[in-house]
Structure 1
Amino acid sequence: MAKENKVRLALANNLKEELNKRRMTVADLAKALGISDSTVRSWANAEKYPRIEKIQQLADFFHITRLELISSKPDNVVPITKTVKIPLLGEIACGDPILAEENIEEYIDEPVNYLPSGKCFYLKAKDNSMKPTIPDGSKVLIRQQPDVDDNEIAAVLIVETNEATLKRVKRSNKTMFLMPDNPEYTPIIVGKDNPARILGKAIRYTSDL
């Protein structure tokens, strides 16, 4: 069992290293390979080990050998060469740029190795609407972009209240729905009577113990 865990961990570390090199997320990889997000995430978290054909598919995608993908490396350390300050946003004034100084509560140091391309910011989850995916109080890394694909989690600014919310975006007949992952919460319908705009795509979250 210990050997099996070691093999899963080696692949997970190598997989995350290859994703970091390309500024990709687990969701990006899952979409590119046509594999479910939960399956790829289980590999990246060393919870499961892929079948041989999936290992080959991963190796081909990253242009490396199967051996390079599954072998342990000394200490499995990706050196952190630099950190940058990522703003944590509080209340957002609708007419201001997203990253206007008055919108920023604090800055969080983040290693550049683990950041996606583009401008990024953090938002704090303020309720349980996205549990179990995103716990209340988590700091969620957002890549700034004006739109996301259906079923992706986005930071969305509700214009009427100037509040940013984290919800899963779904569309039907030109209507956008902001869906909570927690079934105890009600979806938000975006339209003329309740305008909103997407601020960016949720990449990952951190949470204090």
Structure 2
Amino acid sequence: MVTKGDSKLFYFAVGKNIKKYRDLRNYSLQVLGEKVGLTKKTIQRYENGEIKIDMDRLADIAEALGVEVPKLMEGAESFLGVDLSELETIKLPIVGRVSCGNGAMAYEDIEGYEETPKAWLNGGEHFYLRAKGDSMSGARIFDGDLLLIRKQPEVENGEIAAVLIGDEAVLKRVYRHGDQLILQSENANYPPILCPPTEARIIGKLKMNVIKY
């Protein structure tokens, strides 16, 4: 059981994971509640991090969602010892399209804004993109997932980045071969994309896969 002294933020992060997998299974709050013998209001309060959840109950929810308990705790352990009241948040745009006119990057088709803990950010400008398709499924990035991107023009070889090709921002693992970019998917069904520097531009590095609505 998670003890009284543990961080409220731990439960906030666990709740985000519960919602993520509930949405992946297309379960309503009512359906998940019935599977574990709880009201939909209790499930909602778990997801919002409003109440603590012990490990036995978390195991029941994991079983109902068809995942292992560690999946529901991903990213949560790092928040132990941090109190939610100390956490400041900032609203970041969820960007539908990115343009680069006159060398300046602009966000377009903004679908909304996501409250984001400042603790997740370490300087620089950040924004969100939605994952599209299954080309990065091997990195546990799925269609519709919300991706936190740090705006920057370069990444290290092998890092996952948002790359602008024409008017489309794609998420790929990036390698350089001379001046050429090699964009590698995390799905064997998709071959590498070779791009000369005039056809592709790195716009940001993936910081984390936050949640799927």
TM-score tier, shorter chain, comes to 0.5 to 0.7
| CA–CA separation in structure 1 for the residues paired with 2:124 and 2:98 | 20
Q: 2:180 aligns with which of 154, 175, 178?
A: 175
Q: Deviations over 1:175-194 (max 9, x none)?
A: 210100111112111116x6
In structure 2, the partner of 1:86 is 92
Shift in CA distance, 98/107, structure 1 to aligned 2, threshold 3 Å: farther
Matched, 1:123 2:129: yes
Q: 1:187 aligns with which of 183, 186, 192?
A: 192
In structure 1, the partner of 2:161 is 154
Shift in CA distance, 99/87, structure 1 to aligned 2, threshold 3 Å: farther
What residue identity is the alignment partner of 1:172? H
- Checking the alignment, whether the CA contact within 8 Å between 1:84 and 1:112 is kept in structure 2 is yes
Q: Deviations over 1:139-181 (max 9, x none)?
A: 110001010000000000002xx00000000122332101001
What residue identity is the alignment partner of 1:202? L
Question: Which structure's residues are more often strand, by fraction?
Answer: 2
- Checking the alignment, whether the CA contact within 8 Å between 1:116 and 1:143 is kept in structure 2 is no
Q: Which runs of 5+ in 1 are unaligned?
A: 14-43, 47-72
- Checking the alignment, whether the CA contact within 8 Å between 1:93 and 1:103 is kept in structure 2 is no
| CA–CA separation in structure 1 for the residues paired with 2:144 and 2:123 | 25
Q: Deviations over 1:86-106 (max 9, x none)?
A: 111112233174344x34221
Map 1:4-83; keep pairs closer than 5 Å. 76-79=81-84, 80-83=86-89
Shift of 1:45: 5.1
What residue identity is the alignment partner of 1:119? E
What residue identity is the alignment partner of 2:176? R
- Checking the alignment, whether the CA contact within 8 Å between 1:158 and 1:195 is kept in structure 2 is yes
SS class of match (1:76): coil
Matched, 1:106 2:121: no
What residue identity is the alignment partner of 2:211? S
Q: Deviations over 1:92-121 (max 9, x none)?
A: 233174344x34221111111222221000
What residue identity is the alignment partner of 1:200? G
After TM superposition, where is structure 1 displaced by more than 6 Å over at least 4 residues in a row? none
In structure 2, the partner of 1:163 is 168
SS class of match (1:132): helix
Q: CA RMSD in A?
A: 3.4
In structure 2, the partner of 1:198 is 202
SS class of match (2:111): strand
TM-score when normalising by structure 2 = 0.58
- Checking the alignment, whether the CA contact within 8 Å between 1:151 and 1:170 is kept in structure 2 is yes
In structure 2, the partner of 1:67 is none
SS class of match (1:117): coil
SS class of match (1:207): strand
| CA–CA separation in structure 2 for the residues paired with 1:98 and 1:138 | 23
Q: How many residues align?
A: 145
- Checking the alignment, whether the CA contact within 8 Å between 1:92 and 1:98 is kept in structure 2 is yes
| CA–CA separation in structure 2 for the residues paired with 1:78 and 1:99 | 35
Q: Which runs of 5+ in 2 are unaligned?
A: 11-72
